[in-house]
């Protein structure tokens, strides 16, 4: 089942002053706000190297990780981000919560609100779930989308943008190739919106026809079904995981066949620019999407992405929760 994002008045993600209210999707957000998130995240990066890895920006606030779908890394980085902002954090195990005993999602939300939660970080297998929750909560609660179905994963896209900007500078001259399972990837959709909003010179989608969305032309990217052609002279290569859990039917002959034609190896990476960087949102399937020599090689920024994820999630939480609590106190 897919939850359709409800029709809400105006841009539900921003308040009347254009500040971040919820973070549900990259699409529709202005370039200035995305740049502000990146700048704020940059300012937080050094906190991880400090002896005391905390700032008091969200002291006394409560952030609830509401994960209906498993993701160890995303939940861990959101938890670290909230704690480094001095917030109290509640990790809700949905598998043992009241929702598994028949309680509705609305009831769960209302009970959490009654505990004076200030933000919900939501991960859900249904597209539009974060939008639905944003339409149900009281105005002072911020909703952060940590991934919903095939729809969006905005904080992952922003940590990818921070990684690119720190290593490549301005986006305007960059050619970026997103390679792999475009069809099932919420990350790819958010990356495309972020890259286009930030003014990337060219965005390419590289995949077999069976792993391209039917409406791929509407995404405004150059589309390639040949890996070598798609990687020719690009500055950034972003590999995607094969999401077998979301595939209906045999979209690929085999993982080995996919690796033969679309796996990133030292040989295929040579088609990109000599100073091209390699990224992967994880978790990686080594020997399926990417060769270990590339994943662990000098052009790989995959561990940088993990580090930048904490900083970006600190930025989003601080911007959204601070704005909400100020309004709630007014």
The full DSSP string for 1-52 is --PPPPP-SS-TTB-TTS-BS-B--STT--HHHHHHHHHHHHHHGGGGGSSS
CA distance 157 to 236: 14
**Contact by Cβ (8 Å): 187, 281:** yes
Range of the domain at 74: 31-151+307-325
Do 282 and 178 share a structural domain? yes
Model pLDDT for residues 15-44, shown as the tens digit of each residue? 888 999 999 999 999 999 999 999 999 999
- Output the CA torsion sign for 327, 28, 26, 123: positive
Mean pLDDT of the chain: 88
**Contact by Cβ (8 Å): 251, 242:** no
282 known ligand binder: yes
- Output the CA torsion sign for 24, 25, 28, 29: positive
CA distance 113 to 231: 48
Of the ranges 157-166, 284-293, 296-305, 321-330, which one carries the lowest mean pLDDT score?
A: 321-330
Do 288 and 314 share a structural domain? no
Residue 5 has pLDDT above 70, yes or no: no
Q: Is residue 58 part of a domain?
A: yes
Do 246 and 173 share a structural domain? yes
Residue 317's CATH number: 3.40.50.1370
74 known ligand binder: yes
189 known ligand binder: no
Collapsing DSSP to helix, strand or coil, 93 comes out as strand
60 known ligand binder: no
Residue 142 has pLDDT above 90, yes or no: yes
Q: Is residue 179 part of a domain?
A: yes
309 known ligand binder: no
Looking at residue 253, its pLDDT comes to 57
197 known ligand binder: no
204 known ligand binder: no
Q: Is residue 243 part of a domain?
A: yes
96 known ligand binder: no
Looking at residue 223, its pLDDT comes to 98
The total number of structural domains in the chain stands at 2
35 known ligand binder: no
Residue 263: is it exposed, middle or buried by C-beta count within 10 angstroms (0-12/13-18/19+)?
A: buried
pTM: 0.91
Model pLDDT for residues 208-249, shown as the tens digit of each residue? 999 999 989 999 999 999 999 999 999 999 999 987 544 444
Do 244 and 141 share a structural domain? no
101 known ligand binder: yes
């Amino acid at each position: 089942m897919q939850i359709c994002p409800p029709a809400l008045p105006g841009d539900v993600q921003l308040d009347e002053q254009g500040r971040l209210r919820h973070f549900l999707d990259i699409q529709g957000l202005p370039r200035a706000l995305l740049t502000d998130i990146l700048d704020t995240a940059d300012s937080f990066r050094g906190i991880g190297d400090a002896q005391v890895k905390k700032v008091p920006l969200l002291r006394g606030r409560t952030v609830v990780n509401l994960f209906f779908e498993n993701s160890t890394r995303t939940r861990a980085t959101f938890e670290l981000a909230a704690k480094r902002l001095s917030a109290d954090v509640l990790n809700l195990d949905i598998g043992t919560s009241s929702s598994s005993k028949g309680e509705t999602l609305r009831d769960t939300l209302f009970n959490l609100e009654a505990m004076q939660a200030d933000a919900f970080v939501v991960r859900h297998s249904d597209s539009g779930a974060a939008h639905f929750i944003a339409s149900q909560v009281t105005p002072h609660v911020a909703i952060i989308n940590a991934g919903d179905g095939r729809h969006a994963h905005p904080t992952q896209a922003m940590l990818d943008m921070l990684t690119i900007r720190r290593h490549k500078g301005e986006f305007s001259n960059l050619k970026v190739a997103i390679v792999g399972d475009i069809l099932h990837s919420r990350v790819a959709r958010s990356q495309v919106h972020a890259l286009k909003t930030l003014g990337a010179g060219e965005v390419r989608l590289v995949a077999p026809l069976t792993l391209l969305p039917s409406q791929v032309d509407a995404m405004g990217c150059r589309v390639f079904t040949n890996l070598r052609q798609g990687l020719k002279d690009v500055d950034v290569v972003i590999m995607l995981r094969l999401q077998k859990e979301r595939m209906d039917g045999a979209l690929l002959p085999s993982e080995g066949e996919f690796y033969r034609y679309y796996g990133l190896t030292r040989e295929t990476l040579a088609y990109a620019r000599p100073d091209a960087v390699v990224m992967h949102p994880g978790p990686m399937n080594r020997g399926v999407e990417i060769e270990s020599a590339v994943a662990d090689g000098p052009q790989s920024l995959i561990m940088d992405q993990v580090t930048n994820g904490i900083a970006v999630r600190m930025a989003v939480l601080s911007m959204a929760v601070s704005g909400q609590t100020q309004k709630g106190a007014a």
